[in-house]
Amino acid sequence: MCKLDKHALQYALQHALQYLRPSTDLHNRLRPGVRLMLCVVLMLFTTYSVAQTKYPGVGRAATAAEVSAWDIDVRADFKGLPKGSGSVKRGEDVWEAKCASCHGTFGESNQTFPPLVGGTTATDIANGRVAALTKPSEGRTTLMKLSRISTLWDYINRAMPWNAPQTLSVEEVYAVTAYILSLGNVVPDDFVLSDQNMAQVQARLPNRFGLHMNHGLWSVQGKPDTNNTACMHNCTQQAQLRSELPEHARDAHGNLAEQQRLIGPTRGTVTTRVASAATSTTATSSDTNAAKSSTAHAEARALATKHACLSCHGIANRLVGPSFQEIAKRHQTDNQANTKLAQKIRAGGVGAWGNIPMPAQAHLADDEINRLVQWILSGAR
């Protein structure tokens, strides 16, 4: 009796099923004997849930190419990891071009996203636990939390760069992963990360033993970790106020009076400061030019928000790149400024304001670029 490999059987069955679907031409070409045989094989394979015939005509089999196009996940056991490799050196080049604008040259930037690197030590690498995580004063970087190298690889491959995900090659994903790990001294500067050595690098992750599931929050049946009781009378001493908003934060969320309904048992509390309330009454309705200009500014600002320009450029403050007002100031007397800036947005560039490159924004329409340039040069309010 021949012995069938399980995977081979699964593969054969998947294809057999395609042939069995009534809409498939091949169905009619198969001899009845073959069909019967396939059915018998299917019936023998009873560990699969079978309900396919219940809703005929709904859905279709996925092709192998379709599955492969979308099946990108990489698990902790490296199932799904494509073969390939990438060096720290190559990773540094990719980083400078595509990652540093948000994450900083050394992955340390806290301007756009929390820092990726920092807070880990050689002792952590030896222990597999990041000591700084026990210190309340320490911030948390990605590398401090990272317990699975597969997660970092998958994250970059799946979602980075932030504004152009899934555009990195397999080599670039390996390379950028290696570069980040080199910044945390997990791998040396001349390292080449590959599908062959991912497991060895996993064994050096500073926080590889830092996760657990000893809690009751995975399933509905889980056991809670607090045990309050439903006392009804004289339950506590006089309540002590432990925390309230400081006075200086009163207007941190705007004027709450404008965030509440205008009727009902309560009104919103006015939280604006007296000074700002006084100036708001000085605006005159006759100043239509100012109003128009203000609308144009608001629209352009919305455009800048939409395209994430404000992730890297502040209006008046420098983030990853220069502030818009700095740019306007530099180009005050430059009559080529419109063309230059439009070109800079469209194609990207580096050097004018430091060594962090501005990525190309080729997806913006010309009209959008022109509006943004006008707005920046007019002071970007």
Partner 1 sequence: MSARKFFGRILPATETARVPTRSSRRRFLQHTLGAAGAATLALPSHAADNAAQGDPSILKPQPHRIGLGQPVATFGYGQPSQWEKNLQRRQSPGLTRVTQSSVAFTPLQGSFGILTPNGLHFERHHQGWWDIDPSQHRLMVMGLVKQARVYTMDDLMRLPSVSRIHFIECGANTGMEWGNVAVPSVQYTHGMLSCCEFTGVRLSTLLDLSGFHKKTARFVLAEGGDGSGLSRSISIEQALDDVIVAWAMNGEMLRPENGYPLRLVVPGAQGVSWVKWLRRLEVGDQRWDQREEVLHYVDLMPDGMHRQYTQIQEAKSVITSPSGGQTLLDHGFYNVTGLAWSGRGRVKRVDVSVDGGRNWRTARLETPILSKALTRFNIDWQWNGQPAILQSRVIDETGYVQPTIGQLRAVRGTRSIYHNNMIQSWKVAENGEVSNVQVG
Helical packing angle, 288-306 and 366-377, nearest 10°: 120
Q: How far is the CB of 37 from partner 1 (least distance, A)?
A: 17
User: Between residues 269 and 339, which has the closer beta carbon with respect to partner 1?
Assistant: 269
DSSP 86: E
Q: How far is the CB of 340 from partner 1 (least distance, A)?
A: 26
> Containing H/E element for 192?
strand 192-194
Q: What is the DSSP string of 314-362?
A: -SSSBSSS--HHHHHHHTTT-TTHHHHHHHHHHH-B-SSSSSSPBPP-T
> Containing H/E element for 98?
helix 88-98
Could you give the CA distance from residue 106 to residue 116 in angstroms, rounded to a whole number?
9
User: Between residues 162 and 353, which has the closer beta carbon with respect to partner 1?
Assistant: 162
User: Between residues 13 and 337, which has the closer beta carbon with respect to partner 1?
Assistant: 13
Could you give the CA distance from residue 178 to residue 201 in angstroms, rounded to a whole number?
10
User: Between residues 61 and 291, which has the closer beta carbon with respect to partner 1?
Assistant: 61
Q: How far is the CB of 194 from partner 1 (least distance, A)?
A: 20
Q: How far is the CB of 353 from partner 1 (least distance, A)?
A: 19
How far is C-alpha 170 from the chain's CA centre? 18
317 φ, ψ (degrees, to nearest 5): -120, 150
User: Between residues 144 and 376, which has the closer beta carbon with respect to partner 1?
Assistant: 144
Q: How many CA atoms lie within 13 A of 61 on its CB side?
A: 15
Could you give the CA distance from residue 174 to residue 166 in angstroms, rounded to a whole number?
13
**Residue 124 structure tokens:** 């952590």
Q: How far is the CB of 13 from partner 1 (least distance, A)?
A: 7
**Residue 71 structure tokens:** 């099946």
3 state DSSP class of 261: coil
User: Between residues 59 and 351, which has the closer beta carbon with respect to partner 1?
Assistant: 59
User: Between residues 8 and 51, which has the closer beta carbon with respect to partner 1?
Assistant: 51
Q: How far is the CB of 293 from partner 1 (least distance, A)?
A: 23
The amino acid present at 86, given as its one-letter code, is G
User: Between residues 87 and 207, which has the closer beta carbon with respect to partner 1?
Assistant: 207
Q: How far is the CB of 335 from partner 1 (least distance, A)?
A: 34
Could you give the CA distance from residue 144 to residue 131 in angstroms, rounded to a whole number?
9
Q: How far is the CB of 161 from partner 1 (least distance, A)?
A: 10
